[in-house]
Amino acid sequence: MSEYSELELSVRDYECDLQGVVNNAVYQNYLEHARHEYLKSHKVDFAALAKNGINLVVIRAELDYKGSLTSGDSFIVRTRFARKSRLKFLFIQEIHRQGDERTLLSAEITGTAVNTEGKPFIPNELTHLLE
Amino acid sequence: MSEYSELELSVRDYECDLQGVVNNAVYQNYLEHARHEYLKSHKVDFAALAKNGINLVVIRAELDYKGSLTSGDSFIVRTRFARKSRLKFLFIQEIHRQGDERTLLSAEITGTAVNTEGKPFIPNELTHLLE
Amino acid sequence: MSEYSELELSVRDYECDLQGVVNNAVYQNYLEHARHEYLKSHKVDFAALAKNGINLVVIRAELDYKGSLTSGDSFIVRTRFARKSRLKFLFIQEIHRQGDERTLLSAEITGTAVNTEGKPFIPNELTHLLE
Amino acid sequence: MSEYSELELSVRDYECDLQGVVNNAVYQNYLEHARHEYLKSHKVDFAALAKNGINLVVIRAELDYKGSLTSGDSFIVRTRFARKSRLKFLFIQEIHRQGDERTLLSAEITGTAVNTEGKPFIPNELTHLLE
C-alpha cells in the first residue's frame, strides 16, 4: 500500500452552514480534491482522462464524522491509495485539524474507472500505482 | 420503522461536473435536503433547533453510488427514519431516477443531536418519531 | 421583449451560510437554473448545446441584493430574455419571496454563445426567441 | 485607496461544470473567500463579527467575465478595499490566471454592515481601513 500523501487546506467561510460549521457535503469536496491532487502528483489527470472518455467514478463512500471544522480552521487531508479488488480501487482518507491534530473525519472511498461503453476497468495509468 | 417519505427533485445544471454528471458531493446535498424536509413534515425544524443550540449532526454516512444523474433528470429521494441506538438515529435513503425508476444511490446516514455543551442526546422532538 | 417566465423554488438549508442566510453565490445558482429552465421551456437545451460544442456563457452579471432568503423561505425567480446587441443577449431576473412578495434580488445577466473556435455568435435556437 | 492584496488559489475539479470550466457562481465563492482573507489580514474576522450580530453583507455585485478558468489552472485574486459612501464600502477585485497573467474576471462588490436591528452602519473595525 502506498504512503500517505498530504494536502493542506483552510476552511473558506462559504463552506460553513447555518450551524456555523463546515457542511457535511463539503467534506466530500475536500476528499475529492485531495484524491485528484494525489493522482495528479502521480501523473494521472482526472480531467484529461474524462476528456478521453475514461471516467473515474466513486462507487461507495463511507465517511465517519468525528468533529467539525469551522471558520478559521486549517487542516490536512491524508490520502492513501490501494487496490480493493480486480476492478476496484480504494482511497483511504483522513482529515486532521491543524493545531490540535485531532482527526475530524475518516473515509474510505471505493472507485473504479468506466470506459465510453460504461464498462468498468482499471486504466494503465492507475495500474502501476496499485502494484 | 417509519414509512418512506418521498421528495421529488430535478437536477440543476450547475450540479453537474466536468464529467457531465451530478458530482458525488451533491448527492449529500440532496440527501440532507430530503432529511430536513422529512423532519419539517413531522414538525421538526433543523434551523430552529440550531438557533436554540440543538445541532442535529451526521456522524456516519454510507453511500452506494449505482448510477449517475445528469442534466434533465428528475428523481425521487426516499427517506425513512429509525432509531439506531440509545443516542443515535438512522436515515435510510434512496435516490430513484424518474422514468426508468432505477435506483441510483442507496445511503445510510447515522446522526445524533448535540446540545450547547456538545453532549449527544435525542431531543424530545425526535423521540416520538422513533417509537 | 418576452413575457416573464416564473420558477418557484425553496431554500435548501445547505445553501445557508454561517450568517444563517442564503450565501451570495447561491443566488447565481438560482438564477442560472431559472435561465436554463426558461431556455428548456423554449426548446433550448443548455447541456445538449454544450455537448455539440456550443457554449452559452455569461459575460457580465449585475446583481442587486435587497434582502436575504433564509431557511424555510419559498421564492419565485422571474426571468425575461431580450437581445442586448448583435452578439449579446440579456436575461433580466428577479427573486421575490413568497408570502410578502418582497423583491430580494434584481439581476441583469449578459451572455453570448461561443462556438468550438471560441467565436461569439447567436445560435439559431436563440434567434427566434429574440425577435 | 488601499494597496492590492493577493491570494493565490487553484481550481478544484468539483468547481467545474458540464462545460468543463469553472461555473459562474463559483467565482463569487473565490471573491468572497479573498475578501474574507483580506479582512482577516487586517484583523477583521467575518465569522466573529457575525457571531456578535454584525453582518457584513453584499448589496451589489458587478462581475465582468472575460475568460474561463478550467481544471489545472492556478490563479491570483487581487482585492482592493475602499469607501464608496458614508454607509457603503467597495471591494475592487480581479482574477488573473497564473502563467499567461490574463485577467479573467473583474468585479466590484459593494457592501455594508448591518447590526442586529438590521440597520446599516460601518463598524469601527472597518473604519480605520477606509481612511
Residues paired with C118 in a beta bridge: none
Note the pLDDT tens digit of each residue in C11-69.
999 999 999 999 999 999 999 999 999 999 999 999 999 999 999 999 999 999 999 99
Q: Are C80 and C5 in contact (CB under 8 A)?
A: yes
Q: Are C112 and C59 in contact (CB under 8 A)?
A: yes
pLDDT of residue A131: 77
Query: Quick one: cell of C109?
Result: 445577466
What is the pLDDT confidence band of residue D2, given thresholds at 50, 70 and 90?
low
Note the pLDDT tens digit of each residue in B77-120.
999 999 999 999 999 999 999 999 999 999 999 999 999 888 99
B130 CA: distance to closest CA in chain A (Å): 22
Task: Give the phi and the psi of residue B56 in degrees, each rounded to 5.
Answer: -80, 125
Element (H, E) at D25: helix D24-41
Which residue has cell 491570483? Answer: D76
Q: Which entry of B13, B17, B45, B100 is annotated as an active-site residue?
A: B17
CA distance C13 to A24: 12
Q: Which residues are CB-contacts of C115 (< 8 A; sequence separation ≥ 6)? A: C53, C54, C121
pLDDT of residue C3: 78
Residue C10 to residues B9, C30, C97, D58: CA-CA distances in angstroms?
11, 10, 9, 21
pLDDT of residue A2: 56
Question: Exposed, middle or buried by CB within 10 Å (0-12, 13-18, 19+), for C63?
Answer: buried
What is the pLDDT confidence band of residue C116, given thresholds at 50, 70 and 90?
confident
pLDDT of residue D110: 98
Element (H, E) at D109: strand D103-114
Given a cut of 80, whether residue D131 has pLDDT beyond it is no
Which residue has cell 451589489? Answer: D60
CA distance B29 to A60: 16
Q: Which residues of D touch A72 (CB under 8 A)?
A: 45, 47
Which one of D26, D60, D77, D103 would you mutate to disrupt binding with C, by most C Cβ within 10 Å of its Cβ?
A: D60
- Cα–Cα–Cα angle for B42, B128, B50, rounded to 5 degrees: 60
Average pLDDT value for chain D: 95
What percent of chain C is helix, strand and coil (3-state, nearest 5)? 25, 45, 35
CA distance D114 to C8: 29
Listed by start position, the domains of chain C span 5-127
Residue C57 to residues B131, C49, C119: CA-CA distances in angstroms?
52, 11, 12
Q: Are B94 and B78 in contact (CB under 8 A)?
A: yes
Coil vs helix vs strand at C51: helix
Task: Give the phi and the psi of residue C61 in degrees, each rounded to 5.
Answer: -130, 130
Note the pLDDT tens digit of each residue in C64-93.
999 999 999 999 999 999 999 999 999 999
CA distance A13 to C4: 35
- Which amino acids of A are annotated catalytic? 17
**Residue C73 a catalytic site member:** no
Is the Cβ pair C13, A18 closer than 8 Å? yes
pLDDT < 50 regions, chain A = none
Whole-prediction pTM: 0.97
pLDDT of residue B10: 98
D11 CA: distance to closest CA in chain B (Å): 12
Q: Which residues of D touch A33 (CB under 8 A)?
A: 12-14
User: Which residue in B47, B70, B71 is closest to C72 by CB distance?
Assistant: B47
Q: Which of C101, C103, C91 is nearest to C65 (CA)?
A: C103
Note the pLDDT tens digit of each residue in D69-125.
999 999 999 999 999 999 999 999 999 999 999 999 999 999 999 998 889 999 998
Q: Which of C61, C97, D50, B105 is nearest to A28 (CA)?
A: B105
Q: Which of residues 21-40 of B touch C (CB under 8 A)?
A: 29, 32-33, 36, 40
Between A32 and D2, name the one with better pLDDT.
A32
Given a cut of 70, whether residue D30 has pLDDT beyond it is yes
Q: Are D93 and D31 in contact (CB under 8 A)?
A: yes
Element (H, E) at C26: helix C24-41
Chain D interface includes A44 (CB < 8 A):
no
pLDDT of residue D58: 98
Average pLDDT value for chain C: 95
Q: Which residues of C touch A23 (CB under 8 A)?
A: 14
Chain B interface includes D12 (CB < 8 A):
no
Q: Which residues are CB-contacts of D52 (< 8 A; sequence separation ≥ 6)? A: none
- As a whole number, mean pLDDT of residues D22-49 equals 97
Given a cut of 60, whether residue C2 has pLDDT beyond it is no
- Cα–Cα–Cα angle for C47, C104, B36, rounded to 5 degrees: 70
The full 3-state SS of chain A, as one line of letters, equals CCCCEEEEEECCHHHECCCCEECHHHHHHHHHHHHHHHHHHCCCCHHHHHHCCCEEEEEEEEEEECCCCECCCEEEEEEEEEECCCCCEEEEEEEEECCCCCEEEEEEEEEEEECCCCCEECCHHHHCCCC
User: Domain C5-127's class?
Assistant: alpha beta
Is the Cβ pair A46, D13 closer than 8 Å? yes
- The ipTM assigned to this model is 0.95
- CATH code for D5-130? 3.10.129.10
User: Which residue in A20, A32, A47 is closest to D72 by CB distance?
Assistant: A47
Q: What percent of chain C has pLDDT above 70?
A: 98
Q: What percent of chain D has pLDDT above 70?
A: 98
Given a cut of 70, whether residue C1 has pLDDT beyond it is no
Query: Quick one: cell of D16?
Result: 467545474
Average pLDDT value for chain B: 95
